[in-house]
Amino acid sequence: MYTPAVAREVQLYRTILHEIGHWVDYLQKVDIPSDRPGADWSELWDRYWQRPTREREAFAHRYADEAGAAHRATGAVPFDRRDDPARMIALGLRPTDFALDGPG
């Protein structure tokens, strides 16, 4: 059973770090090397996507594991929910959409 705590754990402390891992992989393999003299961004991009999916996913998983461990070690995560209803309203959100028991 998924609870808000489980959803937060998966989405905030795993999925987001995994997706950031894909971005870091792209930066390291395409974006940063493309700034070097004589580099061809299109060629780097094509080589990036020619890599096996399992290799790209392994990088993102490893990044998520390492970044998550580092953030936990410093106490940066987990962090408390920040669901102040007045702030939500000021941002144009409906607090009931974020209630623990679902929309009301």
Give exposure, 56-93, as e/b (b: 16+ Cβ within 10 Å). beebbeebbeebbeeeeeeeebeeeeeeeeeebeeeee
Give the type of residue at 93. Answer: L
Residue-wise pLDDT tens digits, 45-64 = 999 999 999 999 999 999 99
pTM for this entry = 0.78
Specify the higher pLDDT residue, 96 or 92: 92
- Quote helix, strand, coil % in the chain, to nearest 5: 70, 0, 30
Residue-wise pLDDT tens digits, 72-90 = 999 998 888 777 889 889 9
Percent of all residues in the chain with a pLDDT value above 90, rounded to a whole number: 66
Residue 104 pLDDT > 60, yes or no?
no
- At 103 the pLDDT is 46
Give the sign of the dihedral formed by CA 92, CA 99, CA 68, CA 31: negative
User: Looking at residues 17-28, what average pLDDT do you find?
Assistant: 98
User: Looking at residues 3-17, what average pLDDT do you find?
Assistant: 87
